[in-house]
Chains A and B, each alone.
Chain A
């Protein structure tokens, strides 16, 4: 018998060493409430939340501490405690940003809020479901942190017919989505059906990479057990190939549709949500439970006891690393996120934010520490770019100080998967050149529109 062709994307892609064995077999563990959390007002794409508490206030876990504003989402206390002065603190992506700091008070004195089930939760009107999702502060937990309520509220004239649930988790080292799929398949499925009802779609496609067949099996079993809701759910294995979990690549693999450049998947009738987001949506609609924790994979050769941890948002990375046995003596680099798309951080007094799916500590020399060579025009970066962009052309123009001439080579379309840098035989920081070009082009556009 012929094996069915495994679904995958069209062009480019790479096969990095997965490095997932250290944490793939470890169930999710709960981090005990830390002594302090720092909750940045901006942990999502959109307008920052506005503080609703002041210094000295006592807050309970689950209580709203900052109101949503404009395109944003609200923020909730993730531990019970006392509010410290609101000030600028280190932030994983914004470097320094306003944050609400809460010092823990014992649960006995200040018990966390309870979130009982709403018996009517399956029959709620669409607007009520959207309102609960926004009130819960849910954003895309795959890392992009786009507010989920906005993604589910399609602009007029846009129609979608498929909801894609992203369980690919193609980043090396990370297993947080994998463990979530094994631990909460029911919540993921229920959340997916709720979102399908909000969007008015009848088909939900869940994509799981072929190296996680057990996750696909568990999800299929949960799908079979779902009460009929007029929504067809199918779980599909997709090829283990980086960047399979990128939105465009997964949409192509599961539906055969190509998202046009600079357009959203909704342009081809698809909305994509991460598995952890689906589970959070379920909790928000069924229990009115806000997003208080997230699953983070703490791993890498620089961590003594790699683990998958459920951690209250705002917990400092140092507390998280200590929970995992601390850093090894030879740890040299901290990466927030996976090694392909994550960001290098200089220290650990930085809080866990909604978009952080992994923390990888690495040892030894980093890339580019011995410098890098000139472009030898081999074209391998173009071959592996899943979007067919030309990182080589962008890189030589940035080097020559001609940043504004990079637009024709796709600098603005790049979503920074890093495949080009991975294969470059000259070890050039190609994705970093892309980032510089993107930042400069954005800056130029902003100054132009300001004039």
Chain B
């Protein structure tokens, strides 16, 4: 996840920015809400991916089991590939 922190309407939650996750599936293509929020069309539509984040990746002090995870819908521009292609 890109570690960017802009003002304005954004549907990428703070807690996952800069974090590593695994792509689960493609949900849909949707008009970009960051543009729609200001009355613009948000087109061309943007792919939305469901990304899985292990809780232990998100929170250094997470005390639950390793398999606990959070799944978040991410608009593609917010994704960046890992150097190792993972």
The answer to whether A and B interact is: no
A-side residues, CB < 8 A to B, are none
